[in-house]
Amino acid sequence: MNENTKSRLMMILLRVVVYAILIFLTVLCLFSFYMMIINATRSNAQLQAGFRLLPQEHFWDNLKNAWTDASINIPRGMLNSLFIALTSAALTTYFSALTAYGVHVYSFRGKNLVFTFIMAIMMIPAQVSAVGFVQMMNKLHMTNNYIPLIVPSIAAPVVFFYMKQYMESVLPLEIVEAARCDGSSEFRTFNTIILPIMKPAIAVQAIFSFVSSWNNYFIPALLLDKAEMKTVPIMIAQLRSADYSKFDMGKVYMFILLAILPVMLVYIILSKSIIKGVTSGSVKG
């Protein structure tokens, strides 16, 4: 066996190992989703009886029980979460891209200091400032209000950093200079020229921002106590903390399935742009 044959066999073996690992990881990631769907088709008694891989016949019963539960209003909760998540994602991506555009395009004194300051804020967890934030909202009488859950999302250092790195990869400054020579204003240049170029990056950060806002439990639980204003994560926690004698695991799994469907739909809609944004953002244009 010559060296070329040995090298070819090693490459084939390496490829087989890599594909086997990728398949294993894929199955591992999807298994939890599969079991969630399976458990949503089982009754409370069947779930307590033990583990099963095949679906059962209680899907519609669980859906009816969850959708019509008197203790929580699932349709209203999903609408509340959808409004907050969509608004937050839109504001986060737009203003982060606008901030990144200003830092990337303009040269001004203290530019590096501004960038460093924003990166420093990124290192501060939300839990650190939560107590002061809630106290301030109480003084402003803005509890049971969606504004404190939406407006602060405009300041998103992680999204800003990604947008800036993406702009450095795909946005030549000559495009901006040409637009200025043609008499375009800065906001018109950004809205009509820069945003279409940034579409893949915006799609990536939109899905991340949407998921983060949709799954946010900590701050909404501190600010919202009216039943009609509660979001999906609060309702799931409320359903799980119900009296054990009234606890229905099938209903809980069905609610979790309903809660994850909007996230899956958003991902499916933006999946092509997400893949393009990840690959394009890693290549210097």
If we measure between CA atoms, which residue out of 188, 221, 209, 254 comes closest to residue 56?
Answer: 254
Predicted local confidence at residue 32, as pLDDT: 85
How large is the average pLDDT for residues 11-22? 90
Predicted local confidence at residue 174, as pLDDT: 84
230: how many CB neighbours lie within 10 A of its CB? 22
Q: How far apart are CA 173 and CA 103, in angstroms?
A: 12
Using DSSP's 3-state secondary structure scheme, residue 221 falls into helix
56: how many CB neighbours lie within 10 A of its CB? 17
Q: How far apart are CA 119 and CA 88, in angstroms?
A: 20
What residue spans define the domains of the chain? 3-59, 62-281
Predicted local confidence at residue 23, as pLDDT: 93
What whole-number percentage of the chain has pLDDT above 70? 91
Q: How far apart are CA 62 and CA 56, in angstroms?
A: 11
Helix (H) or strand (E) holding 162: helix 157-170
pLDDT in tens, 100-147: 888 888 888 888 888 888 888 878 777 777 888 888 888 888 888 899
Using DSSP's 3-state secondary structure scheme, residue 179 falls into helix
Of 65-69, 106-110, 220-224, which has the strongest mean pLDDT? 220-224
Residue 162 φ then ψ, to 5°: -65, -45
Predicted local confidence at residue 142, as pLDDT: 87
Q: Which pair of structure tokens corresponds to residue 37? A: 């769907």
Say which DSSP state 190 is in: I
As a dihedral over the C-alpha atoms of residue 69, residue 71, residue 74, residue 80, rounded to 10 degrees, the angle is: 170
Q: How far apart are CA 234 and CA 215, in angstroms?
A: 9
Predicted local confidence at residue 285, as pLDDT: 40
Predicted local confidence at residue 87, as pLDDT: 93
pLDDT in tens, 130-139: 888 888 888 8
Domain at 62-281, CATH homologous superfamily: MetI-like (1.10.3720.10)
User: What b-and-e string marks burial along 183-207, b requiring 16 or more CB atoms within 10 Å of the CB?
Assistant: ebebeebbeebbbebbebbbbbbbb
pLDDT category at 278 given cuts 50, 70, 90 is: low
Residue type, 243: D
Predicted local confidence at residue 24, as pLDDT: 93
pLDDT category at 1 given cuts 50, 70, 90 is: low
Burial class, 133, CB count within 10 angstroms (exposed 0-12 / middle 13-18 / buried 19+): middle
pLDDT category at 282 given cuts 50, 70, 90 is: very low
Global pTM? 0.79
Using DSSP's 3-state secondary structure scheme, residue 235 falls into helix
pLDDT category at 211 given cuts 50, 70, 90 is: confident
pLDDT in tens, 73-92: 888 888 999 999 999 999 99
For the cut 80, the answer to whether the pLDDT of residue 273 exceeds it is no
